[in-house]
Structure 1
Amino acid sequence: MSTDYQSGREALGVRLRELRTEAGLQGKDLAERLGWQRSKVSRLENGKQTATAADLEAWAAALNVPGEAADLHSRLRGLESQQRSWRRQLATGHRAVQDRYVAEYRRTTTIRGYEATVVPGLFQTPGYARHLLIMNAELRQSPRDTDEAVNARMRRQEVLYESDKLFRVLIWEGALHALVGPTEVMAGQLDRLIGLIGLPQIEIGIVPFGARLKLSPKHGFWIFDEQRVVVETINTEFTLESTDDLALYGRVWDRLRESAVHGQQARRLIGRARASLDLG
């Protein structure tokens, strides 16, 4: 069994135990209500056994919290996808990951995103994307398929012009100044970002350095159709689908947006970053 799958199973077990203790029951009491062996309750709570959908329905019903069943089911569905290590995902290079994102964006209607360190992949130029992909391949010691990965990332951007989609993206101002490539590459990237502002399907907000913040900038994340959140760390990609996680990340995005500027103000901040480049 993969470590990723086991981690998800243990997380589900933690939530099952929380629901039981919140109801004031001992494990033996719940087992009696369910007509199960006490060992089954223990195995489920400790991630030693994978719950079935029927197990989760029965658990929620026995604790008189039927409204929790949907959340438990989403956690069960997410066992395989909740945590994907980059080492495994990039075993054959970056293209496969980019192709997966192309499919993900095509089946999504509304996306809310936030990036704190880089311009989002949806808005990247080929040159900017190339430098990021090379840096990541060197860091993770993964196979070099840079040309194929860049092309796949550019295909992802085709969705920006589909009329039935909406992209609401926030960017921390620091990402505009992070020199991930030569100054001419950065200039082209910032020009590209300015050109996207005002497109009907795209809402770009910049969180300025001097803004009064409702919370610290945090890490980047993406919310797909208010159904799942994708969070990337240095070594892992998490997919979160519980109602609690969705609500939390939704609140974080809302609070960051309260500090962001849009339209002409956003253009000025991007223009200021571009003007700071030493283009010789």
Structure 2
Amino acid sequence: MPVSGSSSVQQARQVLADRLRELVKDAGLDGKSLAALCGWHPSKVSRISSAKTQPSADDIRAWCRACGAENQAGDMIASLRAVEGMWLTWHRLERTGLRRSQIERLPLYQRTRRFRSYCSWALPGLLQTCQYTEDVLRTIQQQRVPVDDVADAVAARMERQSVLREGQRLFAFLIEEPVLRNTLSSQEAQKTQLEHLLSVSRLPNVSLGVIPVAQQRRQLPVENFWIYDNTQVNVELVSGYLTITQPSEIATYAETFATLAGMAVHGPKARKLIAAAIADLR
């Protein structure tokens, strides 16, 4: 598994390593004897025990078998899958196309009641029109996805937008002003998208903030991120998709969101910037 800089991922790796190490202790073994039983070099046991190396599912099965704890292998492998799911490269996430990633996020959206989203290069998916979504996903597909299922991915994203009008949910969106002029679509599609943005910004459960270019910043632009209630953060990086669940890290993103929100304009002032972007298209 690629090593992420997130302490959430590292902490989860360490928890799994600690559980494996406890099995060795409970079995009355040491690292050398475990390595001999598994047919490994002792250094491999040391690397897994210290969370420097991520074990495979087969490694866990062999480890549990050597410790006489084969009944715990299934639970350990489930923990391994959870750790692996916290950091996904785009290649792994999108290897079967773009539709899968759209569908897999739907349960998270359905159980979340408070959304906070910050985007620095494109509009959040929940605010996109069908054509804008198609143009964005087409660009992504051409850059890095060998499977062309853009039409199905667009349909899945449009279905996900139903959460905007269902249930008692609150949404806070922050975008950088240049996003209004990042033309990923045709001029007409961009105009339709910005007009849709004006409409959505008036929904009673939606707060839309635009961070103006012409100001002295207290926080530089950062990577796109989403906060779901106070339980999870997802971050889009150049190389992959990170899931954060550690409370201290979630708090850091919440503080960053609050700082960015304090720099943004909302309501009529935000709509004035959107209207100016529409006028520039003409």
TM-score, length of structure 1 as denominator length: 0.76
8 Å contact from structure 2 (residues 96, 147) kept in 1:
yes
1:161 alignment partner, one of 151, 159, 165: 165
Moved more, 117-126 or 137-146: 137-146
Taking structure 1 as reference, are residues 242 and 274 closer, same or farther at Cα in structure 2, changes over 3 Å only?
same
8 Å contact from structure 1 (residues 110, 166) kept in 2:
yes
Q: Secondary structure at the match of 2:216?
A: coil
Q: Which residue of 1 aligns with 2:11?
A: 12
8 Å contact from structure 1 (residues 13, 46) kept in 2:
no
Give, in whole Å, the separation in 1 of the partners of 2:170 and 2:183. Answer: 29
1:115 alignment partner, one of 114, 119, 129: 119
Q: Which residue of 1 aligns with 2:268?
A: 264
**Aligned positions, number:** 236
Q: Which residue of 2 aligns with 1:226?
A: 230
Q: Which residue of 1 aligns with 2:97?
A: 93
Instruction: Please tell me whether residue 194 in structure 1 is matched to residue 198 in structure 2.
Output: yes
Amino acid at match of 2:10: A
After superposition, give the CA deviation of every residue in 1:208-265 in whole Å (9 maximum; x if it has no partner).
1113322101111001111111001233000011122111111110000000111000
Q: Which residue of 2 aligns with 1:215?
A: 219
RMSD of aligned residue pairs (Cα, Å): 2.9
1:254 alignment partner, one of 258, 262, 271: 258
After superposition, give the CA deviation of every residue in 1:157-205 in whole Å (9 maximum; x if it has no partner).
0000024111111011110010101100100000000001121111111
8 Å contact from structure 2 (residues 97, 145) kept in 1:
no
Q: Which residue of 2 aligns with 1:47?
A: 52
Per-residue deviation, 1:147: 1.2
Give, in whole Å, the separation in 1 of the partners of 2:152 and 2:229. Answer: 28
Give, in whole Å, the separation in 2 of the partners of 1:14 and 1:90. Answer: 24
Per-residue deviation, 1:12: 2.8
Give, in whole Å, the separation in 1 of the partners of 2:236 and 2:181. Answer: 21
- What's the % identity of the aligned pairs? 31
TM-score, length of structure 2 as denominator length: 0.75
Q: Secondary structure at the match of 1:81?
A: helix
8 Å contact from structure 2 (residues 170, 205) kept in 1:
yes
Per-residue deviation, 1:76: 8.0
8 Å contact from structure 1 (residues 4, 80) kept in 2:
no
Give, in whole Å, the separation in 1 of the partners of 2:54 and 2:271. Answer: 53
8 Å contact from structure 2 (residues 114, 171) kept in 1:
yes
Amino acid at match of 1:275: A
Give, in whole Å, the separation in 2 of the partners of 1:246 and 1:78. Answer: 18
